[in-house]
Chain A
Amino acid sequence: MSDSEDLLKTPLYDLHVRHGGKMVGFTGYNMPVQYADGIMAEHKWCREHAGLFDVSHMGQVKLSGADPAAALETLVPGDIQGLGINQQRYTMFTNAGGGVLDDLMVLNRGDHLMLVVNAACKHQDIAHLEASLDGVEVEYFPDRALLALQGPEAAAVLTKHAPEVANIPFMSAIDITLAGAQCLATRSGYTGEDGFEIAMASDAAEDVANLLLADDAVRPIGLGARDSLRLEAGLCLYGHDLDETTSPVEAGLRWTIPKHRRESGGFLGAERIQRELAEGPSRRRVGIKPEGRVLAREGVEIAIDGAVVGTVTSGGFGPSCDHPVVMGYVAKGKTGDAVDLMVRGQARPAQIVKMPFHPHRYYRG
């Protein structure tokens, strides 16, 4: 395990090490891939109780100015101007070719927007925002931490310290105080479970994490289980299931593009996206369930009747499903169709299935 000096640390680095975190380099940060319990146990704990994730490596960016929502809509196909105060939405930065530069969360804070972008893309995203948006101030908060508390017991845990979170619905935000620190909590996450993402100043992060971890229902969860949880939930991982060549339509994210934006366009890459909405994309992201227990990972070819029709973009074992789970892009095939996964030269039978593999359990009020 090399522990490179070049890697950045989040404010919770010492806490991870203290909890037995196995630290690895991830998008330039030294992050826990797992703790002592291991990925499988952490995954199941999060599905049954509550897991605490350090996602401080992600980028928190503030957009302010006269009308940041209208400006941001030139770069994303989502409905940003329609967001109520403290409402949050999932969308993506598109490029001129209709591909995806990054996927992100946008929160309306009244006089400004708060964005959460992927760690690997954050500097590129900020440069893109600064270069593209006139009259909008772009402010990056490298000294803010972000924790995710996820799982069926997350709300009960957080309510003990901040009763006002109890009834806020999925994809909304509220200001709370935890361990004496001002925090911004959103009811969102990346596991398919109910839960929260909680932003705070870096110097308060350890106190907040300790407060939450003191609860018997909460255990720390590493990046390994974060990946298997999101995969079972059918959620895209940028750089794998989404990239600069995949369009939101191909990715099955047309639900993020409201009718008025489909019609009027006005965002980068609208031409391709509108064409694909009208004519159908040439490939699309699907879920695949292998028949046996063989795993098919990123890069494995997907075939129908001996002809390659696509490629796996994410694959692994689903601990809650208790079977391997795969997502990939195919040029043909629909739910229920048989496909073969070409693993180490052998055709392994599988079936195109509906996602998510594990049902979402969001709190919608």
Chain B
Amino acid sequence: MADLYYTEEHEWVRVEGDIAECGISNFAQEQLGDVVFVELPEAGREVAQNDECAVVESVKAASDIYAPVSGEIVAANDTLEGDPGLVNSNAMDDGWFFKIKLSDPSELENLMDTDEYTVFCKG
């Protein structure tokens, strides 16, 4: 069972070993509305926690996506180029954005777990 974390910017992080799969939460996709374009980072790029590293465009507006943790981008979900609507229909799984190889696992301690995030969204 992978560990699931959330950021205050409504990204989710699913950690297995030293790989963090990242996307945006269901709450975020509902707020954004229909997603029509996602700009993803290149594999190999080093990112620091909270760096801008992707852009999600809905019919309403463009939103920056920040790296929830530091590390190297090891994969990006190219499926989203042809089917950005996956972010709406399956935000927590098929709609993932990128995977980061963790450089500092202690950063995960700054993030929220599912219960904390649920409370945060009701905020």
Contacts and interface: CB of A to CB of B under 8 A. Distances in A.
Interface of A: 33-34, 38-40, 224, 228, 293-295, 297, 316-317, 319, 324, 344
Given A39-B60, A293-B81, A297-B62, A324 B37 contact: yes
Contacts of B37: 293-295, 317, 324
Contacts of A317: 34, 36-37, 57, 59
B55 A39 contact: no
Contact of B33 (A38, A293, A295, A297): A38
Given A38-B33, A39-B33, A295-B37, A319 B59 contact: yes
A40 B58 CA distance: 10
Interface string B78-110: 000100100000000000000000000000000
Interface string B21-43: 00000000000011011010000
Contacts of B34: 38-40, 317, 319
Given A39-B33, A293-B81, A316 B39 contact: no
B55 A344 contact: yes
A295 B60 contact: no
Contacts of A34: 33
A316 B39 CA distance: 15
Contacts, number: 40
Interface residues of B, number: 12
A34 B31 CA distance: 11
A293 B37 CA distance: 6
B59 A39 contact: yes
Contacts of B60: 33, 39, 224
Contacts of A295: 36-37, 57, 62
Contacts of A228: 59
Contacts of A38: 33-34
A224 B32 CA distance: 12
Contacts of A324: 36-37
In this complex, the member of B34, B39, B84 whose beta carbon has the largest number of chain A beta carbons within 10 angstroms is: B34
A310 B81 CA distance: 28
A100 to B, nearest CB: 26
A224 B55 CA distance: 20
A316 B81 contact: no
A87 B18 CA distance: 70
Contacts of B36: 40, 293, 295, 317, 324
A8 to B, nearest CB: 22
Interface in B1-54: 33-34, 36-37, 39
B84 A293 contact: yes
A40 B34 CA distance: 7
